[in-house]
Amino acid sequence: MNYLMLKLQESLMSKKVLITGASGMVGHYLVDKCMERGYEVRATDLHYNSVFDKHKSMFRFEFQDADLRNFEECKKVVKEVDVVFHVAGIKGSPKRAMEQPNDFFTPLLQFNTNMMEAARLEGVDWYVYTSSNGVYSPADRMRENDVWKTFPSEKDKFAGWAKRIGELQAECYKVHYGLENISIVRPANIYGKGDNFGEDSMVIPSIIKRTCEGENPLVCWGDGTPVRDFIHASDVADGLLLSYDKKITEPINLGCGDGVSIKELVETIVEVYGNEVSIEWDKSKPNGDPIRLMNTERANNYGFFPKVELRDGIREVMNYYDEIYSISK
């Protein structure tokens, strides 16, 4: 190994990173990737998760439970870390976010405000903030520089505004303190292992659950024509790491860029399932916005390209659901 490679390895291994929301869908992939890089990893969440069992015996890994609504706990978990990946959020569908908005709005404000301020006071080298496509107004192509020209969708305004205020806090710190060490990433619709399969789940886990539980015919809302952008949680974790590696200080969209219709999505899930399932469309139910895609040119220019194909990602999530819930076909 030459001198430069040795110094690079030493530099990587000396980094201590904090990952909030580490038990979550993106967080546990990010923990794995940071461990693979040789980083010292401090994972934090409300409760320990068995996904960490493979790491807990390693000296480079530690878990600290923390409630990020408590500023003192945020100051504790950020002590002596070099990099913060703030991934913690609230799981739930837009429907739940509108019916029970304070389950989302206030906790997200507290998470974001407390963690960014704790990191500033600690003097961390870099801070990566996980925002959301919910900061955008509905549009055919959501572009980073358009976000402040419009408002978050009425259907997702509480979580959307909370995420947007987190971005504004980053800009505030840049102006007030001269900080240039914050990255902002805006992922598209995320799916992956560890997803929420409850009553208020998003479209992919909802359709997977109903398919695996034998719903036949499988009745879906609308006519299936709306187009959406889906990205696997592992790819989001890669995007978070890229934003740190390249010290990106302008917001970037993380998505596939090429949309898939809800009809194509449902058909793919049924094909991966393998058994014959009849699909019916309830056109009396709303379709939602016709098309919502992320413009990913900026992320692509930085070298970000998703690796997980939709079919492969769906197969992984379906296998995870079978394993966790012991559903047999």
Q: Kindly state the average pLDDT of the residues 131-146.
A: 91
Are the C-beta atoms of 108 and 89 separated by less than 8 Å?
yes
Note the pLDDT tens digit of each residue in 185-224.
999 999 999 888 887 788 999 999 999 999 999 999 999 9
* Backbone phi and psi for residue 57, each to the nearest 5 degrees, phi listed first: -85, -5
Would you state the pLDDT for residue 99? 84
Number of H helices, E strands in the chain: 11, 15
**Whole-angstrom Cα distance, residue 98 to residue 181?**
33
- Spatial separation of the C-alpha atoms in residues 278 and 112, rounded to whole Å: 44
pLDDT at 57: 80
Residue 7: the pLDDT is 47
Single out the residue of 143, 136, 82, 86 nearest to residue 289, CA to CA: 136
pTM: predicted TM-score of the whole model, two decimal places: 0.92
Say yes or no to pLDDT of 177 above 80: yes
Higher pLDDT, residue 229 or 54: 229
For 11-26, the pLDDT digits (tens) are 555 799 999 999 999 9
- Nearest C-alpha neighbor of 307 from the set 248, 242, 224: 242
Percent of the chain with pLDDT over 90: 73
Query: In angstroms, rounded to a whole number, what is the distance separating the alpha carbons of residues 168 and 19?
Result: 21
3-class state of residue 63 by DSSP:
strand
**Rounded CA separation 259/240 (Å):** 21
pLDDT interval class at 51 (50, 70, 90): confident
Class of 3-194+231-257+292-308 in CATH? alpha beta
Residue 323: what pLDDT?
87
Categorize the per-residue pLDDT at 72 as very low, low, confident or very high, splitting at 50, 70 and 90: very high
Q: Which helix (DSSP H) or strand (DSSP E) does residue 18 occupy?
A: strand 16-20
Query: Tokens 């996980």 label which residue?
Result: 130
